[in-house]
């Protein structure tokens, strides 16, 4: 596979993981940017990064860079994605790719116009397990999919000043962890949901602390999601059909799926799929991104992100919750 020059914006914990993945798959990292010179120098030394930039725009405009990776708070994604696409760079952006559907539609159209690859960092879309799960469903092994259930609960430290609870930085459970649950649900629904029923509990800063969300599409399939930032839940997804159901634990980086077949109301049999390595989740992302660039298309990943962005937008509209900058 061709070696690409990646430039990284942001040096937080997920950027540290991505840097390791880039070094493992691509063999090197061309550049990274952080306005804090001390943090930038430390990150570059730890990860063997060749070039340092104090200004992300300078890195984006470096003609030697092929791909921009964005790992900043959500509120900066839209700006940097547009800059990178207009500079002719492919973009891999951490979730949530944008804070609302209008921003997403704009960058999606720009990527198409520029003939560039734009991808959102949902690990679950790149884990080898899901190819086999989708094939099993396509083969009709669990019958017609009727219901998807998915949870994501994270116990964040109580700190109203942390970005997770900062409304100015688009904090809250929906954009921080809700994208994973929504991407899982949408992956196993035949159509985009058209009906949404939801309720929310707010944190003291005004962001969503936890919520329950029910989605239904025109095929009468339903998805039920539970999200929380102050109560730990298992990361568990279940796809239920007329002939059985599939349970996937730790679904963002899943390597195992348990299948229960229910041919009738009285008997059941079980099976298991085991494939992939959760420690290589980000390596799978990097490899797929570079494959998309080589092939000139993204295998439908941005289309799925489009649906996720619009579902999240519709949920917030139902709540009547807006961020101060919107």
Q: What is the pLDDT of residues 170-183, one digit of tens each?
A: 999 999 999 999 99
Q: Which two tokens stand for residue 225?
A: 């999601």
Q: Is the pLDDT of residue 101 over 90?
A: yes
What is the total count of domains within the chain?
2
pLDDT of res. 244: 97
Which CATH number goes with the domain that contains 139?
A: 3.30.360.10
Same-domain pairing of 129 and 159: yes
Residue 260 inside a domain? The answer is yes
The domain of 206 spans: 124-281+307-319
Of the candidates 213, 193, 210, 214, the one whose C-alpha atom is nearest the C-alpha of residue 201 is 210
From CA 22, how far away is CA 24, in angstroms rounded?
Answer: 5
Q: Is the pTM of this model over 0.85?
A: yes
Same-domain pairing of 73 and 106: yes
What sign has the CA pseudo-torsion 170, 301, 297, 22? Answer: positive
Same-domain pairing of 168 and 314: yes
Residue 315 inside a domain? The answer is yes
From CA 255, how far away is CA 273, in angstroms rounded?
Answer: 8
Q: Is the pLDDT of residue 293 over 80?
A: yes
Q: Is the pLDDT of residue 143 over 90?
A: yes
pLDDT digits (tens, 9 = 90+) for 222-265: 999 999 999 999 999 999 999 999 999 999 999 999 999 998 87
Around Cβ 115, how many Cβ atoms within 10 Å?
8
Determine contact, residues 93/189, Cβ cutoff 8 Å.
Answer: no
Q: Is the pLDDT of residue 2 over 90?
A: no
* Residue-averaged pLDDT of the chain: 96
Q: Is the pLDDT of residue 310 over 70?
A: yes
pLDDT of res. 1: 65
Query: What is residue 155's three-state secondary structure?
Result: strand
Determine contact, residues 160/204, Cβ cutoff 8 Å.
Answer: yes
Arithmetic mean of pLDDT, 114-134: 97
Q: Between the CA of residue 313 and those of 107, 177, 179, 319, what are the distances in Å?
A: 16, 14, 11, 10
Angle at 121 between CA 50 and CA 177, to 5 degrees: 125
Q: Is 95 a catalytic residue?
A: yes
pLDDT digits (tens, 9 = 90+) for 16-52: 999 999 999 999 999 999 989 899 999 999 999 999 9
Same-domain pairing of 144 and 268: yes
pLDDT digits (tens, 9 = 90+) for 187-220: 999 999 999 999 999 999 999 999 999 999 999 9
Same-domain pairing of 277 and 131: yes
From CA 235, how far away is CA 279, in angstroms rounded?
Answer: 16
- pLDDT-above-70 percentage for the chain: 100
Given the residues 47, 89, 95, 235, the one annotated as active site: 95
Which CATH number goes with the domain that contains 10?
A: 3.40.50.720
User: Model confidence at 152, in pLDDT bands (50, 70, 90)?
Assistant: very high
Residue 11 inside a domain? The answer is yes
Same-domain pairing of 246 and 289: no
Same-domain pairing of 45 and 158: no
Same-domain pairing of 98 and 164: no
Determine contact, residues 173/134, Cβ cutoff 8 Å.
Answer: no
Determine contact, residues 288/170, Cβ cutoff 8 Å.
Answer: no
Determine contact, residues 59/33, Cβ cutoff 8 Å.
Answer: yes
Determine contact, residues 29/22, Cβ cutoff 8 Å.
Answer: yes
Of the candidates 310, 304, 73, 249, the one whose C-alpha atom is nearest the C-alpha of residue 172 is 73
pLDDT of res. 263: 82
Q: Which two tokens stand for residue 94?
A: 């951490």
Same-domain pairing of 119 and 129: no
Same-domain pairing of 142 and 249: yes
């Amino acid at each position: 596979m061709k070696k690409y020059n990646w430039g990284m914006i942001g040096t937080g914990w997920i950027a540290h993981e991505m840097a390791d993945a880039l070094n493992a798959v691509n063999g090197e990292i061309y550049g990274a940017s952080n306005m804090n010179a001390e943090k930038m120098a430390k990150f570059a030394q730890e990860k063997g990064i060749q070039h340092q930039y104090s200004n992300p725009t300078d890195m984006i405009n470096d003609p030697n860079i092929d791909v921009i990776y964005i790992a900043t708070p959500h509120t900066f994604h839209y700006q940097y994605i547009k800059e990178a696409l207009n500079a002719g760079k492919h973009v891999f952006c951490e979730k949530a790719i944008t804070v609302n559907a209008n921003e997403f539609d704009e960058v999606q159209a720009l990527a198409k116009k520029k003939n560039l690859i734009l991808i959102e960092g949902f690990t679950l879309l790149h884990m080898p397990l899901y190819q086999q799960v989708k094939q099993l469903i396509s083969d009709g092994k669990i019958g017609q999919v009727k219901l998807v259930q998915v949870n994501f609960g994270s116990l964040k430290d109580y700190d109203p000043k942390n970005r997770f609870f900062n409304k100015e930085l688009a904090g809250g459970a929906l954009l921080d962890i809700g994208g994973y649950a929504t991407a899982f649900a949408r992956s196993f629904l035949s159509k985009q949901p058209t009906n949404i029923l939801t309720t929310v509990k707010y944190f003291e800063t005004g962001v969503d602390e936890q919520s329950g969300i029910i989605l239904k599409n025109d095929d009468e399939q339903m998805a039920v999601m539970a999200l929380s930032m102050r109560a730990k839940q298992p990361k568990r997804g279940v796809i239920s059909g007329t002939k059985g159901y599939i349970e996937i634990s730790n679904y963002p980086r899943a390597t195992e799926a348990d299948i229960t077949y229910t041919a009738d109301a009285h008997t059941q049999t079980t099976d298991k799929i085991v494939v992939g390595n959760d420690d290589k989740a980000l390596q799978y992302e990097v490899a797929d991104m570079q494959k998309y660039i080589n092939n000139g298309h993204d295998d439908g990943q941005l289309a799925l992100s489009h649906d996720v962005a619009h579902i999240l937008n519709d949920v917030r509209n139902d709540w009547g919750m807006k961020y101060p900058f919107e």
